[in-house]
Amino acid sequence: MTAQAPSFAIRKALAPRFAACMALATMFALIPSARSAETLKSGDRIVFLGDSITQAGAGPSGYVTLIRESLVKNHADLKTEVIGAGISGNRVPDLQKRLGRDVIAKKPTLVVIYIGINDVWHSQNNRGTKKEDFESGLKDIIKRIQAAGARVVLCTPSMIGEKTDGSNRFDAMLDEYSAISRAVTKDAGLDVIDLRKAFVDHLKVHNAENKEKGVLTSDGVHLSAAGNKFVAATILAALGVGAKATGDSNAKAGRLLRHVVMFKFKDTSSEEDVKTAVEAFGQLPSKIEEIHAFEWGTDNSPEGKAQGFTHCFFVTFKTEKDRDAYLPHEAHLAFIKIAGPHIDKVLVVDYWTGE
pLDDT tens for each residue of the chain, 355 residues long? 333 333 333 333 333 344 334 433 333 333 333 344 568 999 999 999 999 999 999 999 999 999 999 999 989 999 999 999 999 999 999 999 999 999 999 999 999 999 999 999 999 999 999 999 999 999 999 999 999 999 999 999 999 999 999 999 999 999 999 999 999 999 999 989 999 999 998 888 788 889 999 999 999 999 999 999 999 988 998 888 864 433 344 555 568 999 999 999 999 999 999 999 999 999 999 899 999 999 999 999 999 999 999 999 999 999 888 898 899 888 999 999 999 999 999 999 999 987 5
CB 150 within 8 A of CB 111: yes
Q: Which residues pair with 113 in a beta bridge?
A: 49, 154
C-alpha 8/C-alpha 3 separation (Å) is 5
Which domains can be identified in the chain, with CATH numbers? Answer: 6-31+248-352 (3.30.70.100), 37-238 (3.40.50.1110)
Q: Would you state the pLDDT for residue 127?
A: 94
- Expressed in angstroms, the distance from the first to the final Cα of the chain is 20
Query: Minimal CA–CA distance to 36: which of 317, 243, 202?
Result: 243
Contact 184, 142 (CB under 8 A): yes
The SS3 of residue 265 is: strand
Handedness of CA 222, 293, 171, 128 (dihedral sign): positive
On whether the CB atoms of residues 177 and 116 are closer than 8 A, the answer is yes
* C-alpha closest to that of 259 among 301, 291, 305, 306: 291
pLDDT tens string 148-165: 999 999 999 999 999 999
User: Is the separation of the CB atoms in 323 and 37 below 8 Å?
Assistant: no
Residue 249 exposed, middle or buried by CB count within 10 Å (0-12, 13-18, 19+): exposed
Contacts of 230 (CB under 8 A, 6+ apart): 198, 199, 202, 216, 223
Residue 286, CA distances (Å) to 162, 213, 226, 291 in order: 16, 16, 10, 9
Beta-carbon neighbour count of residue 351 at 10 Å? 14
